[in-house]
Amino acid sequence: MKLYSCYTRSHKRLYKAYFLKSLPPAVENESYYLDVRGRGDFLSAGFLEALRRKTRLIIESVEANRGSIIVWSDIDIFFVRDFTASVMKVFDEDRELDVAFQREFRNKDEVNCGFVAMLCNDRVKAVYEQVSASMAVHRKWNEQKIINDLISTDVDLGWTHLPMSFYARTHGWPPPDNIVLYHANATFGSDGVGQKERQFKEFGDYLGVAVARPRRRPKAIVRAARRRLADAFLK
């Protein structure tokens, strides 16, 4: 199954240390680097600009994969196991289905757009074209708000929720035993990336495993530290 993702400079560590590290080997990852400035905090200018670019990439990917099921995933996700069979089961059980979204909350209908499986067809393309047009006009809206508004109407789209095993932090704690992936969402305010890393650490502690490689110190910092030590011994 083909999985699409994109990331910015602010989220590069999340992409490399968590997302790529855990991505199931059978999944074909098509990833884009977006040259967007800023720290990427929720609803910041850079965050919204990245989402506008991402939405245009989604439209292109739907056109390029006509008739296939693809996945678009945020990169603040850690994969616990291969998700492809679970995704295909959802589509096999409903032949009228166009899109399967992760839930935003455990007991509400609102969807989360951080992990979305979609059948590439005209209906899906039309919805994301509407989303792109709305984001161009309403510059402070994110795609999740617009999609939730659309699916609450009689929009021509067959949609459903993915199982709760496609876990997001907004589902509550702790995660289910049959978890497929962990989505570190609900990071409001400043230092969104740091909040996500702390979530991953807590999740790793809960599982009893390390979910990321130790952070490497930049070579320049190491060299500077060595110089300071040498200077101290010479005094």
Domain ranges of the chain: 2-234
pLDDT value of position 222: 41
From CA 93, how far away is CA 164, in angstroms rounded? Answer: 16
- Between these two residues, 70 and 231, which has the higher pLDDT value? 70
pLDDT-derived band of residue 112, with 50, 70 and 90 as boundaries? very high
Whether residue 114 is predicted with pLDDT greater than 50 in this model: the reply is yes
pLDDT-derived band of residue 110, with 50, 70 and 90 as boundaries? very high
User: Parallel, antiparallel, or unpaired: how do β-strands 28-33 and 99-103 relate?
Assistant: unpaired
From CA 81, how far away is CA 9, in angstroms rounded? Answer: 27
pLDDT value of position 11: 83
Average pLDDT over residues 160-174: 97
Whether residue 218 is predicted with pLDDT greater than 90 in this model: the reply is no
pLDDT value of position 213: 54
Answer whether 185's CB lies under 8 Å from 168's CB: yes
Residues constituting the chain: 235
pTM of this structure: 0.86
Average pLDDT over residues 90-106: 97
> 2-6, 41-45, 50-54: lowest mean pLDDT where?
41-45
pLDDT-derived band of residue 101, with 50, 70 and 90 as boundaries? very high
* Residue of 123, 19, 140, 110 lying closest to 73 (CA atoms): 19
Look at domain 2-234 and name its CATH class: alpha beta
- Between these two residues, 234 and 39, which has the higher pLDDT value? 39
From CA 142, how far away is CA 47, in angstroms rounded? Answer: 9
Q: What whole-number percentage of the chain has pLDDT above 70?
A: 89
- Between these two residues, 38 and 25, which has the higher pLDDT value? 25
Whether residue 78 is predicted with pLDDT greater than 70 in this model: the reply is yes
* Residue of 43, 44, 35 lying closest to 8 (CA atoms): 35
Three-state SS annotation for the chain: CEEEEEECHHHHHHHHHHHHHHCCCCCEEEEEECCCCCCCCCCCHHHHHHHHHHHHHHHHHHHHCCCCEEEEECCCEEECCCCHHHHHHHHHCCCCCCEEEEECCCCCCCEEEEEEEEECCHHHHHHHHHHHHHHHHCCCCCHHHHHHHHHCCCCCCCEEECCCCEEEHHHCCCCCCCCCEEECCCCCCCCHHHHHHHHHHHHHHHHCCCCCCCCCCCHHHHHHHHHHHHHHHHC
Mean pLDDT of the chain: 89
